[in-house]
């Protein structure tokens, strides 16, 4: 009550002109406060709206990427299933291709007319466990280290002392285009000076096999295979 009485007394002592000025200042102060409150609320609601718009954009992008994600997931599963079902060694896979690839010209010492008749295989394979997200180190030849994924890359070396370069390229193209889990990891070529259309070649091919998660260090049949000639 004392505060109200003091305010009334102050207003009563004001002249008419002072009262008008006081009302103008009070209205201006109230207007300023209201404008500040409005701007603060606008900023808050604007931030909320921005977050909502961002969320809608992210959801729209996720919906747009969903078909591609599903496609990649299906491809990944198909590859995993193919690896799990792969029981063939790199040697047997490439030897099938070698038997089907005829030579376009004669090679000294050839036992027949296909690339299988002039190839020699390394006696042991190189088994490398596939570790996702980790650096890979090659295992010793003929030995298989423990793999967290259970998938092992098995490499098989083969050598041509002399082979028509066109036939070798045709073989490599068949490896690249084939549906089997087989690919080339190394290729060394040297031209034969006595026949510029022939080369000496060292090729390494590889396949993947599933040998069980965290499997032991037993040798696989592919790792223990001995070279006994160009054909089985």
Chain position carrying tokens 């002039």: 118
d(CA 175, CA 116): 15
- pLDDT value at residue 203: 92
Cβ-Cβ contacts under 8 Å for 144 (sequence gap 6 or more): 127, 129, 152, 211, 215, 217, 218, 219, 220, 223
Q: For residue 219, what pLDDT is reported? A: 41
CATH placement of domain 87-210: 3.30.70.60
CA-based nearest residue to 116, from 232, 230, 1, 195: 230
- Tell me: pLDDT of 140 over 60: no
In this structure, are residues 132 and 80 in contact, taking their beta carbons and an 8 Å threshold?
A: no
What is the per-residue pLDDT for 195?
A: 85
**Angstrom distance (rounded) from CA 40 to CA 218:** 71
Work out the pLDDT band at 147, boundaries 50, 70, 90: low
Sign of torsion, CA 160 89 179 97?
positive
- In this prediction, residues 125-149 reach a mean pLDDT of 65
So what's the pLDDT on residue 208?
Answer: 92
DSSP structure class, residue 193 = T
The larger pLDDT score, comparing residue 22 to residue 128, is at: 128
3-state class (DSSP) for residue 232: coil
Give the pair of three-digit tokens for residue 122: 């390394």
pLDDT in tens, 2-48: 666 676 677 677 777 777 787 888 888 888 888 888 888 888 888 88
Is 180 within 8 Å of 93 (Cβ atoms)? yes
Question: What percentage of the chain has pLDDT greater than the value 90?
Answer: 19
Return the pLDDT at 156.
92
Which alpha helices (H) appear in the chain, and where do they start and end? 2-13, 16-85, 90-100, 165-177
Mark 113-131 as b/e (b = at least 16 C-beta within 10 Å). Answer: ebbbbbbebbebbbbbbbe
pLDDT at 54 over 80: yes
| Segment among 35-49, 64-78, 84-98 with least mean pLDDT | 35-49
Q: Say what the pTM is.
A: 0.57
With a cut of 70, say whether residue 198 has pLDDT above it.
yes
Is the per-residue pLDDT at 125 higher than 80? yes
Judge whether residue 232 has pLDDT over 50: no
Mean pLDDT, the chain, rounded, equals: 80
């Amino acid at each position: 009550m004392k505060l109200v009485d003091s305010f009334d007394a102050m207003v009563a002592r004001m002249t008419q002109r002072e009262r008008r000025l006081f009302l103008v200042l009070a209205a201006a102060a109230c207007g300023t406060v209201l404008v500040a409150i409005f701007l603060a609320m606008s900023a808050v609601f604007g931030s909320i709206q921005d977050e909502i718009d961002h969320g809608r954009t992210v959801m729209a992008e996720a919906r747009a990427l969903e078909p591609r994600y599903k496609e990649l997931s299906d491809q990944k599963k198909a590859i995993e299933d193919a690896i799990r079902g792969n029981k063939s060694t790199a040697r047997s896979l490439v030897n099938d291709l070698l038997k089907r690839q005829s030579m376009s010209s004669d090679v000294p010492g050839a036992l027949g007319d296909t690339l299988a008749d002039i190839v020699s295989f390394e006696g042991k394979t190189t088994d490398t466990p596939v570790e996702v997200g980790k650096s890979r180190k090659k295992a010793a030849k003929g030995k298989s280290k423990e793999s967290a994924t259970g998938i092992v890359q098995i490499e098989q070396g083969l050598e041509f002392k002399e082979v028509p370069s066109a036939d070798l390229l045709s073989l490599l193209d068949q490896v690249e285009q084939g549906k089997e889990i087989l690919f080339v990891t190394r290729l060394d070529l040297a031209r034969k000076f006595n026949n510029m259309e022939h080369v000496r070649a060292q090729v390494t091919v590889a396949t993947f096999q599933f040998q069980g998660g965290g499997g032991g260090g037993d040798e696989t049949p592919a790792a223990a295979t001995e070279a006994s000639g160009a054909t089985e």
